[in-house]
Amino acid sequence: MNIELYDTTLRDGSQQEGISLSVEDKIKITKKLDELGIHYIEGGWPGSNPKDEEYFSVAKSLKLVHAKIAAFGSTRKANSKVDEDANIKALIDAGTPVVTIVGKSSDVQVVNILETSLEENLSMIYDSISFIKNTGSQVFFDAEHFFDGYKSNKEYALQCLQIALEAGADCLVLCDTNGGVLTSEITEIVEQIIESVGGSVGIHCHNDTDMAVANSIAALKAGAVHVQGTVNGYGERCGNANIVSLIANLKIKMGINCINDSQLQSLTEVSHYVSDIVNIPPNGQQPYVGVSSFSHKGGLHAAAMAKMDESYQHVPPYLVGNLTRVVVSELSGRGNIRHRLTGLGLEGKLSGEQELNLLQNIKIRESKGFQYETAGASFELMARRILDNYKAPFDLVDFMVMVENNRRVSVLQDFDGNDDLLAEAMVKVNVDSHIMHTVAEGNGPVNALDNALRKALLEFYPSLIDVKLLDYKVRVVDEGQDTKAVVRVLIESTDGKTQWQTVGASSNIIEASWMALADSFEYFLIHS
């Protein structure tokens, strides 16, 4: 069974709130999707905006290996000539080997939205498809609102498909545009369409009932041969069918070789790559490719995983380029600890008593607001500090932070007209019996601490110049305790090659920040 993968991230996916792709962004995603083995990549709607026109102009020079570029657009306007329609002309000028025409297949939509007759809509579908087909392009027909239309007026919805087929459409794509159809309905209707209309049938599902992937697979099992979706399920409202999950399910669960094994192993990388470009953090719990999709927190789970990987994993994570993670928390048992120590190269370095002490420390510290599920660097430092031969690269003697706005007059003022605040930090650290006492200013107290600590340590550890802070998050742990509440600070750092996360917790936000910051520097230094 051959299934065509049709990606519409660049068009339908970009309609999600918060996503705005440049031409360069779209070209990068196009190349990555081609590497993944996607068969068709919908680039946008030529004629709708200058950005899409530029994309299609640039895309002509791309040397794609697997994918064909598709241009998307609507049928000709009502009561007009197809050869004079600006939208149709733009689709042809795009010069793509594939053109996808969207047309209404719901009588309610035709009458109330297009405000034309049912007969004229059929003519619009026929004229548009046949005109573009005569240029030599492959043509897909997206039957918009098909399932709602089929339930409203079965005969007319079928007419729309039949006229598209007569006009030369290579695939009839049934669209659950509002995303409200249930899986049982999808199966029943797709089977009826294949039996009564014939031709190649495709499926395009939106996710408004959280069933887009399931509905798409149901359509394929019912006989559809073409499936549309977006990377990570991006799209308007609740999004589209997630093509990442679709690919994994088709390949692994159904044995359909829509892409090869090597391409499947790049699935996690592709998901995160596109996530970075659209500037939306990856969903950690996204099936198959999320950082938590093969993570194990409960002690019983970790103990079982040590004996048999498949005890709590439905597939081996390496198939999709992901990894098994055993996280440590107050729910952990010794199995979690040992698994993490093995991953850190510390297997057998801690005695049984030390392992128990480490586990007990974690439970105590998490009760005080710390959390080590994501702060792997801080966990590693806790483990190493238990070792008899561990020597910290520096020790804190004292620090003080001061914030004021009366000592200087700033040239710049904020939007309220207030002078900038002065943040100044004093840090005293012990480095190999040398007491370093430094003072530094910063853009806020945490930045001032960062600058002062670097100033104290750079003389001994010049490589610290490479460490950058990527993210700084503060969360109130004891909600409802007002300003007395314990806060947790998570810091993500990088040296340009790797990234690591550290944690601090205290009722004093500056102290919590110092803990996370000091851990970040110490982690880097012991690995450099």
Question: 74 - beta bridge partners?
Answer: 102
129 band by pLDDT with thresholds 50, 70 and 90: very high
Q: From the CB of residue 79, how many other CB atoms can be counted at a distance below 10 Å?
A: 10
Residue 261 confidence (pLDDT) above 70: yes
310 band by pLDDT with thresholds 50, 70 and 90: low
DSSP assigned state of 80: S
In this structure, the strands spanning 68-74 and 487-494 are unpaired
pLDDT for position 253: 96
pLDDT tens digit sequence for 28-58: 999 999 999 999 999 999 988 889 999 999 9
Of 15-24, 63-72, 402-411, give the lowest mean pLDDT range: 402-411
522 band by pLDDT with thresholds 50, 70 and 90: very high
Span 161-176, average pLDDT:
98
Q: What fold does the segment set 394-460 form as a domain?
A: Double Stranded RNA Binding Domain (3.30.160)
**HEC readout, 267-323:** HHHHHHHHHHHHCCCCCCCCCCCCCCCCEECCHHHHHHHHHCHHHCCCCCHHHHCCC
Q: From the CB of residue 63, how many other CB atoms can be counted at a distance below 10 Å?
A: 6
pLDDT for position 482: 59
Span 177-204, average pLDDT:
96
User: Is 488 within 8 Å of 505 (Cβ atoms)?
Assistant: yes
E-assigned strand segments in 161-279 = 171-176, 201-205, 226-229
User: Is 357 within 8 Å of 386 (Cβ atoms)?
Assistant: yes
Task: Please report, rounded to a whole number, the percentage of residues in the chain having pLDDT higher than 70.
Answer: 89
Architecture of domain 4-278: Alpha-Beta Barrel (3.20)
Residue 481 confidence (pLDDT) above 70: no
Identify the residue with better confidence: 358 or 25: 25
CA distances from 144 to 221, 234, 506, 509 (A): 21, 19, 55, 53
Question: Which of the four CATH numbers 3.30.160.340, 1.20.1050.10, 3.30.365.10, 3.20.20.150 does domain 368-388+467-528 have?
Answer: 3.30.160.340
Q: In what order do the strands lie in the sheet with 434-442?
A: 395-404, 422-431, 434-442
Q: Could you check whether 4-278 and 368-388+467-528 share the same CATH topology?
A: no
Identify the residue with better confidence: 403 or 9: 9
Identify the residue with better confidence: 414 or 346: 346
pLDDT tens digit sequence for 329-339: 444 555 667 76
Span 253-274, average pLDDT:
94
303 band by pLDDT with thresholds 50, 70 and 90: low
pLDDT for position 331: 47
pLDDT for position 420: 63
Sequence letter at residue 434? H
CA atoms within 13 A on the CB side of 307: 6
Residue 501 confidence (pLDDT) above 60: yes
Residue 507 confidence (pLDDT) above 70: yes
Domain layout of the chain by residue ranges = 4-278, 295-367, 368-388+467-528, 394-460
296, 293, 290, 386: which is closest to 339 by C-alpha?
A: 296
pLDDT for position 356: 81
Which residues are within 8 A (CB) of 448 and not within 5 positions of it... i.e. 6 or more apart? 401, 423, 424, 425, 440, 441, 442
DSSP element (H, E) containing 59: helix 50-59
pLDDT for position 330: 45
- Tokens 């680039």 correspond to 43
pLDDT for position 292: 78
Q: From the CB of residue 105, how many other CB atoms can be counted at a distance below 10 Å?
A: 31
Considering 129-143, 371-385, 412-426, the range whose residues carry the highest mean pLDDT is 129-143
In this structure, the strands spanning 499-506 and 40-44 are unpaired
373: which 2 tokens? 């599920």
Task: Please report, rounded to a whole number, the percentage of residues in the chain having pLDDT higher than 90.
Answer: 65
pLDDT for position 366: 78
pLDDT for position 80: 95
CA distances from 79 to 163, 308, 335 (A): 18, 66, 72
pLDDT for position 203: 98
Q: From the CB of residue 419, how many other CB atoms can be counted at a distance below 10 Å?
A: 14
